[in-house]
Structure 1
Amino acid sequence: MGRKQLWTVIAALILVNCLTLAFFLSKANLAGGAEDKETVATVRGKTIVRKEWLNELETRYGKDVLKDMVDQKVIEEMAAKYRIKISNQDVEREFRMLKATYNSFGKQNLKNEKKLKEQIRTNLLLEELLTKDVKVSNDELESYYQKNKELFNVPAAYHLSHIVVGTKEEADQTIQELAGGSNFSTLAMERSIDEFSANEGGDIGYISEQDERYPLEYIQIAKELKTGAYSQPINVEQGFAILKLEEKITGRNYAFKDVKEPIRRQMALEKMNSPVSAATFWDDAKVDWVYGK
């Protein structure tokens, strides 16, 4: 699996795991006593109570969520045992690459930035644990780097929001309201005809010059905008769009010394040809859980 593909898979798993775990635990924490009988839905007078709902959540997702929690503890224990650490610099590099290459990152997802970085650190710790005894020569590492330099070139990326309206008059009116202090996200939800992004307050995530989802003008305008600023209306297929720059990621080409360790882990994992799983260490960590062996 290529490194960009791996980042995409990791990003998707991080988002799903964070949302599922947070949702499940938040609901589970509310259970108990009279709240167990709280009505959460009714259908023609027939009720579904919170306890029934939580039981169904546990039946469907309980084992997977608990396994994720156990894996986290196992990785922490094994990393401490073997004195393995991951630097903040390594975490920030991976997070930067994820944002620049996984275009679905938006404001809602980035609210979980702390959790995302924790998950990245956990993933890197697991890779390091699995590959700690695998030797890869410096010549092999440098050869891999030279053949795959593009994987370590992070393109400039722009986190954008937009409001799309049908006519120039609507666009001009929107600009007037923004100049008067109206909130960009609120206006996007109220009047943008791009329904997908309107539901997210106009947020379209990160785009780069390689992105074909949006007109090239989006990148050209984003380059000129300051963070937090919005553009004048531009012609688009649906009518007129107003762009807002939320964040800019400066492009960067990582040198061999910066990515030597990630390359070593990647090559070692490929040589091992085994799944990247914390289950390898469960026996060593003396795991005992309700689902048995």
Structure 2
Amino acid sequence: MKYGRAPESAPTPTQKRRLKTKPLVALVGILFICNVLWFIGWLIPDEVEKEADEEVASVAGESITKEEWMAAMEKEIGRETLLELVNEKVMKAAAKQYGIEVSDKEIDLELALIRSVDGHSYSGLDVDKARQKIHANLILDKVLTKDVVVKEGAIKDFYDDNASLYNILPAHRTAVIVVPSKKDANQVLDELSKGSSFDVLAKERSTDLASASLGGDIGYINESTELVDEAIVKAALKTKKGKNSDVIVLSDKTFAVVHVSEVVKGQSFKFNEVKEHIQRELALEQLPQSVSPEAFWKEFDAKWFYGK
């Protein structure tokens, strides 16, 4: 009798059992994964609900939940914040559509000019946020003025007549804490010397409500600043970056401590450096009315939470 091997393709009994169990193992694995996913899905809503019910404050034993707090913030600043975000996106779409570019150098120029004319407009904004706003505004201005013709003679005349605008004075980014008495001011200085945050103390102690809500920030101050108490201007210009002033007396007999977070050097801009800026400003003056980014929403199919 001749003995031969079974063909390699023919499964043995052991292999047959393995082949039969593979679908069963796969099925068990799928069921296990489904159960895990179901369990996670069952836990998530519960965790979200717990987070919403979390107490963030209480008054006379009555809780203020995280959900109430978030709803109040959304109502207070949600619309404005979302509007700003949508407008920035719309302007980026417009820049792409019309082939418009905005350079860092252009933003630097606008920052310097705004800081020189109206340093208070920076209050509450960090540099990155200010640059984002200026970037969006420059796109809007360029879109609106791309077809407006301004003669070079008019541009040069404007520069010659307003040369002082382009000689930028040194400026100090300033914050202030205003308190009723010298004793209060000395206490503020003492707490600052021990490491307390100027921003936090301003929000807690300052009686100047407008700046207190911004951590005391009143923007940039230079020698020509007029809308700020003279004592604050003098103190700010004498204070080094990252330092606090001594206690100062304001014109209304209240007291204050000044903090300087940034010192910007002065600079002068030549005609060629501001030519395009002036051309754009003169072109904007020729437009029959001002236009906001919202005017481009329909063109770029902008939609938002608050409706049309």
TM-score, structure 2 as length reference: 0.62
- Note if contact 1:234-1:241 (Cα within 8 Å) is conserved in structure 2: yes
Tell me how far apart the structure 1 counterparts of residues 133 and 199 of structure 2 sit (CA, whole Å).
Answer: 29
* Correspondence 1:247 to 2:280: no
Tell me how far apart the structure 1 counterparts of residues 88 and 151 of structure 2 sit (CA, whole Å).
Answer: 30
Q: 2:283 aligns with which of 268, 273, 280?
A: 268
Alignment deviations for residues 62-102 of structure 1 (CA, whole Å, 9 cap, x no partner): 7x988866654554344324432110111122133334414
1:51-200 equivalences in 2 (<5 Å) = 72-100=88-116, 101-106=118-123, 109-111=124-126, 113-200=127-214
- Describe the shift of the 1:192–1:150 C-alpha distance in structure 2 as closer, same or farther (beyond 3 A): same
Q: Which residue of 2 aligns with 1:231?
A: 245
Tell me how far apart the structure 1 counterparts of residues 187 and 92 of structure 2 sit (CA, whole Å).
Answer: 55
Per the TM alignment, residue 187 of structure 1 is displaced from its structure 2 partner at its CA by 3.7
* Correspondence 1:212 to 2:226: yes
- Describe the shift of the 1:233–1:83 C-alpha distance in structure 2 as closer, same or farther (beyond 3 A): same
- Counterpart amino acid of residue 226 in structure 2: E
Tell me how far apart the structure 2 counterparts of residues 253 and 91 of structure 1 sit (CA, whole Å).
Answer: 16
Q: Which residue of 1 aligns with 2:15?
A: none
User: Between Structure 1 and Structure 2, whose CA radius of gyration is higher?
Assistant: 2
* Correspondence 1:259 to 2:253: no
Amino-acid identity (%): 33
Alignment deviations for residues 231-267 of structure 1 (CA, whole Å, 9 cap, x no partner): 2222334343222212223333322111111111122
> Structure 2: which 5+ residue stretches go unaligned?
1-44, 56-61
Query: For 1:119, what is the secondary structure of its paired residue?
Result: helix
Query: For 2:178, what is the secondary structure of its paired residue?
Result: strand
Per the TM alignment, residue 210 of structure 1 is displaced from its structure 2 partner at its CA by 3.3
- Counterpart amino acid of residue 135 in structure 2: R
How many equivalent residue pairs? 255
- Counterpart amino acid of residue 281 in structure 2: Q
Per the TM alignment, residue 146 of structure 1 is displaced from its structure 2 partner at its CA by 1.6
- Note if contact 2:101-2:139 (Cα within 8 Å) is conserved in structure 1: yes
Tell me how far apart the structure 2 counterparts of residues 268 and 162 of structure 1 sit (CA, whole Å).
Answer: 39
CA RMSD of aligned residues (A): 4.5
- Note if contact 1:160-1:246 (Cα within 8 Å) is conserved in structure 2: yes
- Counterpart amino acid of residue 268 in structure 1: A
Moved more, 250-259 or 202-211: 202-211
Query: For 1:110, what is the secondary structure of its paired residue?
Result: coil
Alignment deviations for residues 252-289 of structure 1 (CA, whole Å, 9 cap, x no partner): 3322111111111122222343443457767765x486
- Describe the shift of the 1:194–1:256 C-alpha distance in structure 2 as closer, same or farther (beyond 3 A): same
- Note if contact 2:174-2:220 (Cα within 8 Å) is conserved in structure 1: yes
Per the TM alignment, residue 226 of structure 1 is displaced from its structure 2 partner at its CA by 1.1
- Counterpart amino acid of residue 153 in structure 2: D
> Structure 1: which 5+ residue stretches go unaligned?
1-32
Query: For 1:162, what is the secondary structure of its paired residue?
Result: strand
- Note if contact 2:231-2:250 (Cα within 8 Å) is conserved in structure 1: no
TM-score, structure 1 as length reference: 0.64
Tell me how far apart the structure 1 counterparts of residues 89 and 209 of structure 2 sit (CA, whole Å).
Answer: 41
